Structure 1
Amino acid sequence: MTIESVLSNNRIIAATQLKDIKRADESQCCAMILMNGKLSELMHMPMVHKPLFIHMDLLKGLKNDKEGIAFLKEFINPTGIVTTKGNLIEAAKKEGLLTIQRIFLIDTNSLKTAIQNIKDYRPDAIEVMPGIAPKIVKALKQELDIPIILAGLITTKEDVLHAFEAGAEAVSLSNQLLWNGTTEAITTK
């Protein structure tokens, strides 16, 4: 599986809590990012059918290292992970997991640092925050050749439209009202 195949039929990713994972799995979103939780809860999570990414930086009860990634792969077997940490990107890739590197852009220096880190670790996609700053997509696309997911503070259909118009391959959002919006449904008013 590739990140492009995950995003091929719909470009909405549900950013969800464990308590809402069933609702996200039943929605029309193309994938889910589990935004938090405890390892003990994750071990008893209901089976899901959509690609599942686990946000490693927000998961409690599992160390953020290569052994933690190996455990996650063996006992949970998600599609992939989301993280800000390059060492976890490397470890997850070795385990055959897809990787999304989350970056926070607050100024020019953070942009330069993020581009260098992405070039160094080569995640399968990047999640750019805040998602309401779609003009940054063009600058990133000039430097990088990987899918860009905008996330953070995306709350309306218009925010989603602006992200796609700017060239983002997908958006990740927690607004459940937008989880069922396919690209075609979002783009029609």
Structure 2
Amino acid sequence: MEFTKNGFYQRLEQHKLIAVLNDPSQIEKLIKYKQNISAATLMTGNILSVKKYIDLLHKEGIPVILHIEKIEGLKADHYGVDFIIEYVKPFGILTTKKSIMKQAKSKGAFVIQMVFLFDTVNYQNVLDSLDNITVDMLEIMPCRATDLISEIVTLSPVPVVTGGLLTDLRYVKEVLSTGVASLATSNVDIWKRGV
């Protein structure tokens, strides 16, 4: 199945939920609740299994964003990025590394930059870098830093997704009130319920 950037953004408007897969055993549950989910972030697998997982999810109509640094046996260099984009063919790439972002964008991939907010210097660096964004989306971690995420959403030229530390359903409304395009979580209770 072919997915487009605009089609993906439309999916996010309909279902503000991206399922995060940390283990292959979660794939069956994701398929069961796919009507509540706009996409999946794949953070598990190795160079022998990742294509099989992506092909299965794409066949189910679920765009897959691959966290390239989490794939065992894959070196996240120029050749590794080319291999993923040309052979494995996820809808998008998620990464923390600028070199991977640049290479993936040069190949026409949809790219999400993952950023961790761990102190005020890091937060200020994120704000300072927003004018030079070259990716398609930002993923800000953890989602419980709602006041900081709200400001990033307001200033960001690209849509923002957030996730991490979403341990309880009661935080969903608070996180979504920040104006993010989507919430990324591995919490199956949230997949089941939808947002």
Which is further off, 18-27 or 86-95?
18-27
Q: Among residues 21, 25, 28, which one is paired with 2:31 in the alignment?
A: 25
1:186 is matched with none
Structure 1 residues 62 and 121, CA gap change in structure 2 (3 angstroms): farther
Q: Which amino acid aligns with 1:152?
A: G
Q: Distance in 1 between matches of 2:73 and 2:131?
A: 30
Report the Cα offset of residue 119 of structure 1. Answer: 4.0
Report the Cα offset of residue 130 of structure 1. Answer: 0.9
Write out aligned runs for 1:59-98 (5 A).
59-98=71-110
Percent identical among aligned pairs is 25
Residue 177 of structure 2 aligns to a residue whose secondary structure is helix
Report the Cα offset of residue 81 of structure 1. Answer: 1.0
Residue 166 of structure 1 aligns to a residue whose secondary structure is coil
- Structure 1 position 37 matched with structure 2 position 42: no
Report the Cα offset of residue 44 of structure 1. Answer: 3.3
Report the Cα offset of residue 66 of structure 1. Answer: 2.5
Compute the TM-score of the two structures, normalised by the length of structure 2.
0.85
Q: Distance in 1 between matches of 2:97 and 2:130?
A: 10
Residue 40 of structure 1 aligns to a residue whose secondary structure is coil
Report the Cα offset of residue 117 of structure 1. Answer: 4.5
Unaligned runs of 5+ in 1: 184-189
1:124 is matched with 136
Structure 1 residues 59 and 22, CA gap change in structure 2 (3 angstroms): same
Q: Which amino acid aligns with 2:102?
A: E
Q: Distance in 1 between matches of 2:131 and 2:98?
A: 10
Q: Which amino acid aligns with 2:169?
A: K
Q: Distance in 2 between matches of 1:144 and 1:31?
A: 21
Instruction: Tell me if structure 1 keeps the 8 A contact 2:153–2:180.
Output: no
Write out aligned runs for 1:154-165 (5 A).
154-165=166-177
Q: Distance in 2 between matches of 1:116 and 1:70?
A: 30
1:47 is matched with 56
- Structure 1 position 7 matched with structure 2 position 12: yes
Unaligned runs of 5+ in 2: none
